[in-house]
Amino acid sequence: MPIRPDNRRRPSRQPQSVRISPVDSVDNPNRRGEALSTQSTVQILQDKRCRLSRQPQSARISLVDWYSDNHLHLQREECFGYLKQVETETANLPSEEPAAALTAATTTFKTGVDAFDDALKASATNPATATATATDNARDASWRGSNNYLTAMCAHPDAKIAAYASEAKSLFDKYGDPTKLAQTEESGVLHNLLQDLEAFDASKRTALAFDVWMNDLKTKEDAFLAAAAARTEAAAARQVGIVKKTRTAAEAAYRSLVDTVNALAMINGDTAYATFIDHVNAMIERQKAISKARATRAKQENEQPSL
């Protein structure tokens, strides 16, 4: 007896599993009825038809989707902290015998996080800092020597020389002791002081034999400015270069790890991966709350009227 149109067989609903992996579909209708276990992990991961799908209403959050959209909003140390926590959670992933895709992805991820860590540590120690500190101490000593010399010359037996010394000393007194200031502020004070000293009557400087002191202070200040510029350049190069490169590599390894876990959970069932997935999802929810709070504070600060 032929099947009438109104008696067409309706597609049965697929029972929902207790757990939903972030990977929920393989866009390949010819294989939907086949047992995925017949394919190797490598074949699934390399199959271009295997893709991640967003699940806005799913019980699980697609880890890759969230991180891809939000990693640029994470501060440098915050990004490292997040990846380091994920690295700790890899202990909850099942072991492979023999080693295969998951082992390779986990190893690459751990290596990437370690390299990111090393780059952050290296960026915190700038070799040029020691040179800048030494030249700063040298200019401080030069200022003190010049100031002390003029103080002593104010008691010179020759009244004219003493008067010249008092006049020059007043230039030092006008700006106060710059050696107690921050380095950048001290540079501003010394710049103005040196301009005043160079404008001071050359014959009086000669009578005081002060040029040697003034030139020494100028030389020491120039040396500090050069060292400070080198320090800034080195710091920028290390941060933009090494740190950015290793962060990018660690983030890429993270995405690869998540892709691998998602694919394996789809193939094998997610029981063995549930702890890792649940813990990382919880971390993401916490990070989302932090990012949202930060954005709210920034918005409130921008909306405050300027006084």
Mean pLDDT of the chain: 78
User: How confident is the model over 134-139, as a mean pLDDT?
Assistant: 95
The tokens for 85 are 């926590």
Q: Among 40-54, 58-72, 167-181, whose mean pLDDT is lowest?
A: 40-54
User: What percent of the chain lies above the pLDDT cut of 70?
Assistant: 72
User: How confident is the model over 232-242, as a mean pLDDT?
Assistant: 72
CA triple 37-39-45, angle to 5 deg: 110
Q: Does the predicted model carry a pTM greater than 0.75?
A: no
Among 39-43, 44-48, 215-219, 301-305, name the most confident range. 215-219
pLDDT beyond 60 at 99: yes
User: How confident is the model over 146-170, as a mean pLDDT?
Assistant: 97
The tokens for 191 are 């710049």
pLDDT in tens, 255-278: 999 999 988 988 888 889 989 998
pLDDT beyond 70 at 31: no
Can you list the alpha helix ranges (DSSP code H) found in the chain?
Answer: 41-46, 63-70, 76-89, 101-124, 127-153, 159-175, 183-199, 202-208, 211-237, 244-268, 274-303
pLDDT beyond 70 at 140: yes
The tokens for 256 are 């690869």
Among 7-21, 28-42, 243-257, name the most confident range. 243-257
Please count the other Cβ atoms lying within 10 Å of the Cβ belonging to residue 190.
24
pLDDT category, 239, cuts 50, 70, 90? Answer: low
The tokens for 116 are 């990111």
pLDDT in tens, 183-215: 999 999 999 999 999 999 999 999 999 999 999
pLDDT beyond 60 at 307: no
pLDDT category, 84, cuts 50, 70, 90? Answer: very high
The torsion angles phi and psi of 50, rounded to 5 degrees, stand at: -90, 120
User: What percent of the chain lies above the pLDDT cut of 90?
Assistant: 45
Please count the other Cβ atoms lying within 10 Å of the Cβ belonging to residue 29.
8
Three-state secondary structure call for residue 50: strand
Q: Among 14-23, 182-191, 293-302, whose mean pLDDT is lowest?
A: 14-23
Q: pLDDT at position 148, please?
A: 97
pLDDT category, 70, cuts 50, 70, 90? Answer: low
Buried b / exposed e over 210-230, threshold 16 CB at 10 Å, is beebbebbbebbebbeebbeb
More confident residue, 97 or 58: 97
Q: pLDDT at position 62, please?
A: 44
